[in-house]
Amino acid sequence: MAEIQSNGYISIREHIVKNWNKIVLLDASNKQIFSTTIDGTKARWAHTRSKEERVTGVNDFGEPITEQVEVESNPVLEISLKITGANVSIPSTVQKIQVLDTQNRIMTEETFTPFTFKTAQDELTLNVKIQVPQQTA
């Protein structure tokens, strides 16, 4: 059986960052309380990336044109979500976060200690870490 090389994992991580684009918060009965896209407003990709020089084309003389591009070289992808009670109905309690893809399929989900929004000023910050490839202890 063939093994995925490091560039294969970079490609998988690039696919995840491009296509896993929605966050959903749920209550204890799996009722949706909040959702947003991962667009940098309330939710954003927060992990570090490296830069790599890649060939992006050729000039009129057939010579390669290179460009510095960000590469998903970090095996731990991280999504940071920050919302306040102003973003949900008050009171609301959330305890599960889901990450969905462009077709609204659940790609990953985690439960956490329940958090109740009691006022518009209450603030919740969640970080979802996705390890590709997953390392076992």
Q: What tens digit of pLDDT does each residue of 110-134 get? A: 999 999 999 999 999 999 999 998 6
Cis preceding-peptide flag for 133 (omega within 30 of 0): yes
Does residue 61 lie in a domain region?
Answer: yes
The whole-number pLDDT of residue 6 equals 86
At 74 the pLDDT is: 87
137 inside domain: no
Q: What percent of the chain has pLDDT over 70?
A: 97
Assess if residue 136 is contained within a domain. no
In the predicted structure, residue 54 carries a pLDDT above the cut 90: no
pLDDT band at 135 (very low <50, low <70, confident <90, very high): low
Q: Is residue 43 in a domain?
A: yes
- pLDDT value of position 136: 62
Rounded mean pLDDT, 29-35: 98
> Per the domain annotation, does 42 fall within a domain?
yes
Helix (H) or strand (E) holding 10, with range, is: helix 6-19
CA separation, residue 58 to residues 51, 54, 55, 61, 113 (Å): 20, 12, 8, 8, 53
pTM higher than 0.85 = no
Give pLDDT, residue 49. 86
Residue-range definition of the domain harbouring residue 25: 6-131
Cα–Cα distances (Å) from 4 to 19, 45, 65, 79, 105, in that order, read 20, 24, 28, 24, 25
As for how many domains the chain has, the answer is 1
Q: Which residues contact 10 (CB under 8 A, 6 or more apart)?
A: 71, 72, 73
